[in-house]
Amino acid sequence: MADTKIYRASTTAPVNIAVIKYWGKRDPKLNLPTNSSLSVTLAQSDLRTHTTASCSSSYPSSDSLLLNGQDQDVSGARTQACFRELRSLRKQLEDQDSSLSKIADLPLKIVSENNFPTAAGLASSAAGFAALVRAIANLYELKQDETELSRIARQGSGSACRSLFGGYVGWNAGTQADGSDSMAYQVAPASHWPQMRALILVVSAAKKGVSSTTGMQTTVATSSLFPARANETVPRRMKEMEKAIQERDFETFGKVTMMDSNSFHATCLDTYPPIFYMNDVSRAAIKVVETINAAAGKTIAAYTFDAGPNAVIYYLEESEKEVVGLFKAAIGDKEGWTGTRGRAVEANIAALYKVQAEASVAIGLLKEGVSRIILTGVGEGPVKTEETLVDEQGQAVSPK
Amino acid sequence: MADTKIYRASTTAPVNIAVIKYWGKRDPKLNLPTNSSLSVTLAQSDLRTHTTASCSSSYPSSDSLLLNGQDQDVSGARTQACFRELRSLRKQLEDQDSSLSKIADLPLKIVSENNFPTAAGLASSAAGFAALVRAIANLYELKQDETELSRIARQGSGSACRSLFGGYVGWNAGTQADGSDSMAYQVAPASHWPQMRALILVVSAAKKGVSSTTGMQTTVATSSLFPARANETVPRRMKEMEKAIQERDFETFGKVTMMDSNSFHATCLDTYPPIFYMNDVSRAAIKVVETINAAAGKTIAAYTFDAGPNAVIYYLEESEKEVVGLFKAAIGDKEGWTGTRGRAVEANIAALYKVQAEASVAIGLLKEGVSRIILTGVGEGPVKTEETLVDEQGQAVSPK
């Protein structure tokens, strides 16, 4: 009688927000970047993907992926590359140890849930592919470490490789044509600098901008300023940023974060036709961060923008009152202030009052344009969990 | 008895809008640029400064400048440099020819009027300094040609050197430390390509941005992408642009114009702290230009933005219906459509209808954010005029 057992393994994986941006592929097929990048992994209590990987001979013959209850296409080259590489590693194990179950070729059923609204426009592909790769690696009981798995996750979605680690994470661009040295590494664990916090201002975009895959290749092809960023600016800033993290130097961390976000969006603007991800509300967030830092006499808040108008503002726990308190007073009642973290922060009317004159237009734009806020901070990498999204009969179940 | 005669000479001078932007000084004192630039001189019937230079021993001992009825400070280094250089040239003439009146040391009274509202936020310093230098050169009967005078006007306001010529005008950055080779030159007269038109969308800015003098020096000091623009991108584009003008190749002219505007604003965004001149209304103008070109299947309209949110859109006379007609239909009733040129253009509802679906958000932003429009085109350089702004008694008079 054939083995019809349902094999299952589950994990959660975090979102990461880069402080040195990944933009531009030197090899689109292998997702090899033109430059190294660096990110902060965010706490999974606020933002995470929960994924169960399962396989069974009783499943329909083709692999499947269910995300937030919706069937996803798994025939794309990127998902296929992840499946193929992970299966190949399982096969090596099975070949070495005949006592292992032969599961490498069984159909995969992956079930995934995000704990944050898709409407937030947060790049969920990083957490998604990190969770997918980590869950299948668990299912296959692979011995590869996070660095080796990051090489696989990278092929699913570039920035996913950084979500395999917690804390402060680098992604080395590498120089090999086959991508063998293009992997993520931990710069420092979350425990090294646990005071790092992030305030995310979710900004409603009138329309979805250019997709990052299309956008970054147009930048590489047309921006005359891009080579200077990839070849000179980013390599220098990677070193500055790693040092700032090692030394817990927020002023440098913040300044380099802001400059790198601006540099990335500058190359988008220098693309032809130009790509705009920031809008007037995004710029209003920049203005308010500038007034907060001016009032503090030093950099205590740092903005960064991915391929969309949302502002992510890094700050240290000790500056919560000056940073989040002011934004809470400025933006007023919005979804997100009501959560555990949000309720804990008092609106800092006094601080707002001081910058009101200089930032009144910006404050008006934020009040109008921010649809919700998310308060989070640096967090851990993927965590194995017994909570499963596939039941004993192999059916998808809703998370508790 | 002393000579109390009122010496007078008048000129008009045009505005110019660059298609390769001047941004960055290698010598702030001499107004020497980091890169060459190129502009189109605009018709003086639409936009011009009218200036009368006069001098007399009967005047109060200090030089004066009245602009639009308001006394201006002439003690600044830039105005002083222009006065000093022009006086020195007059002195050389007087030294060579003793029959000439000794007027080089007489107090100067300059009276100037713009024919466009200051509220339009159009850079008026170029036309202003070009008119000032040209009027004093007329007063002093100097033999120097436009190229030589451009070296003087440049010291008043960099881009003023380009307003001494009509048509298509380059400004060579030069390499000499004393600026002796940093002068304007005519690429082609207006008559070479008289079909060039410009539609200016005046956008109300919530607040005046960073001044260009401050802004450009911050860019030079902090932007890591700026050297690539100044040293590589602009030199290449200067050649492409001059060739496009020689060959009356609007597609190349338009594409390079748009790319260079984007490149300039990209270096502003890469400045720390970042400088934003464009806003959501400016970007809406870009979007509409993109849809116009997509509908035409080629580049028939080209946007460019100076240090502010106003859009200048170049197009050829033959595309008036597709470009201006569509903008007129999109923007609706605004000041500027009522002038001679504006009335001649019919709102092109059919063309608007075709792009409505794709550009509806942009069209809404334009309707709301454009405060007035100006329709103009390529035009001639400064013109000597008998119409004086200083009467026989040396008093300022209003222009007819």
Please answer yes or no on whether A233 and B255 come within 8 Å at the CB atom: no
Contact yes or no for A232 and B255 at CB 8 A:
no
Distance CA A44, CA A381 (A): 8
For residue B316, what are the contacts with CB-CB under 8 A and spacing of at least 6?
A: B195, B196, B197, B250, B300
Give the residue-averaged pLDDT of B287-300: 96
What is the predicted pLDDT for the residue at B398?
A: 74
CA distance A126 to A42: 12
Contact list in B for residue A224 (CB cut-off 8 A) is 228-229, 232-233, 236, 259, 263
Q: Quote the pLDDT of residue A5.
A: 94
What mean pLDDT, rounded, does chain A reach?
94
Q: Which chain A residue's Cα is nearest to B234?
A: A224
Residues A18, A155: contact at Cβ < 8 Å? Answer: no
pLDDT of residue B194: 98
The whole-number pLDDT of residue A206 equals 58
Cα–Cα dist B263/A216, whole Å: 16
Cα-based torsion angle of the residue sequence A279, A284, A286, A288 in order, rounded to the nearest 10 degrees: -170
What is the reported pLDDT for A63? Answer: 97
Residue of B nearest to A359 (CA): B207
Cβ separation of B233 and A225 shorter than 8 Å? Answer: yes
Name the DSSP class of A378: B
Residues of B in contact with A286 (CB under 8 A): 274
Find the CB nearest B266 among A236, A258, A267. A267
State how far residue B329 is from chain A, nearest Cα, in angstroms. Answer: 22
Residues 6+ apart with CB under 8 A from A333: none
Per-residue pLDDT tens for B28-49? 999 999 999 999 999 999 899 9
User: Looking at beta carbons, which residues of chain A come within 8 Å of B206?
Assistant: 361
Using CB atoms, pick whichever of A223, A228, A272 lies closest to residue B224: A228
Residue A129 makes CB contacts below 8 A (sequence gap 6+) with A78, A82, A153, A156, A157, A160, A163
Residue A52 pLDDT > 60: yes
Nearby residues of A130 by Cβ (< 8 Å), 6 or more positions away: A13, A14, A49, A153, A160, A161, A163, A164, A382
Q: What percent of chain A has pLDDT over 90?
A: 86
Residues of A in contact with B228 (CB under 8 A): 224-225, 227-228
Chain B contact set for A283 (CB, 8 A): 276, 279
- Cβ of A255 within 8 Å of Cβ of B269? The answer is no
CB pair distance less than 8 Å for A270 and B262: yes
- Give residue B335's pLDDT: 86
Cβ neighbours of B262 in A, within 8 Å: 269-272, 274
Contact B104, B53 (CB under 8 A): no
pLDDT, position A2:
65
Spatial distance between the Cα atoms of B115 and B389, rounded to a whole number of angstroms: 13
The better pLDDT of the pair B1, B187 is held by B187
The DSSP element (H or E) to which A147 belongs, if any, is helix A146-156
Which run of H or E residues covers position A134?
helix A125-139
Q: pLDDT tens across B315-371, in order?
A: 999 999 999 999 999 998 888 887 777 788 899 999 999 888 888 999 999 999 999
End-to-end CA distance of chain A: 35
Model confidence at B123: pLDDT above 80: no
Contact A263 B361 (CB under 8 A): no
Q: Which residue of A has its CA nearest to B283?
A: A276
CB contact under 8 A, B286 and A265: no
Question: Quick check: A130 pLDDT over 90?
Answer: yes
From the list B81, B87, B101, B88, the residue with the least C-alpha distance to B53 is: B87
Nearest residue on chain A to B364, judged by CA atoms? A206
Q: Which domains does chain A have, with CATH numbers?
A: 7-189+381-385 (3.30.230.10), 196-377 (3.30.70.890)
| Chain A interface residues (partner B, CB cutoff 8 A) | 206-207, 223-225, 227-229, 232-233, 236, 255, 258-259, 262-263, 265-267, 269-274, 276, 279-280, 283, 286, 290, 361
Please name the residues in contact with A42: beta carbons below 8 A apart, sequence gap of 6 or more: A14, A15, A16, A17, A198, A376, A377, A378, A379
% residues pLDDT > 70 (chain A): 96
Q: Which of A58-67, A328-337, B298-307 has the lowest mean pLDDT?
A: A328-337
How far apart are alpha carbons B285 and A383 in whole angstroms?
Answer: 48
Burial, A254: exposed, middle or buried (Cβ in 10 Å; 0-12, 13-18, 19+)?
Answer: buried
pLDDT band at A335 (very low <50, low <70, confident <90, very high): confident
Please tell me the distance from the alpha carbon of residue B168 to that of residue B185, in angstroms, as a whole number: 9
User: How deeply is A2 buried, as exposed, middle or buried, from its count of CB atoms within 10 A (0-12, 13-18, 19+)?
Assistant: exposed
CB contact under 8 A, B269 and A266: yes
3-state secondary structure of B355: helix
User: What is the pLDDT at residue A205?
Assistant: 63
Which tokens sit at A151?
Answer: 């090489």
Nearest to A320 by CA among A286, A338, A296, A356: A296
Kindly tell me if the per-residue pLDDT of B2 is higher than 90.
Answer: no
Are A269 and B269 in contact (CB < 8 Å)? yes
Q: Which of A15, A21, A100 is nearest to A305 (CA)?
A: A21
Share the mean pLDDT of chain B: 94
Spacing of C-alpha B46 from chain mean position:
13
C-beta atoms of A269 and B259 within 8 A: no
Q: For the segment B53-109, what is each residue's pLDDT rounded down to a tens digit?
A: 999 999 999 999 999 999 999 999 999 999 999 999 999 999 999 999 999 999 999
Average pLDDT over residues B214-218: 92
Convert the pLDDT of each residue in A139-164 to its tens digit.
999 999 999 999 999 999 999 999 99
Q: Does residue A120 have a pLDDT over 70? A: no
A239 φ/ψ sector (left φ>0, alpha ψ -120 to 50, else beta) = alpha
Q: Do A224 and B283 touch (CB under 8 A)?
A: no
Positive or negative: CA dihedral A98, A100, A102, A104: negative
DSSP-assigned letters across all residues of B286-341: HHHHHHHHHHHTS--EEEE--SSS-EEEEEEGGGHIIIIIHHHHHH-S-BTTTSHH
- Cβ–Cβ under 8 Å, residues B252 and B243: yes
For A272, nearest residue in chain B (alpha carbons):
B259
Distance from CA of A128 to the nearest CA of B (A): 31
Interface contacts (A, B; CB < 8 Å)? 81
Q: What is the average per-residue pLDDT within A78-93?
A: 97
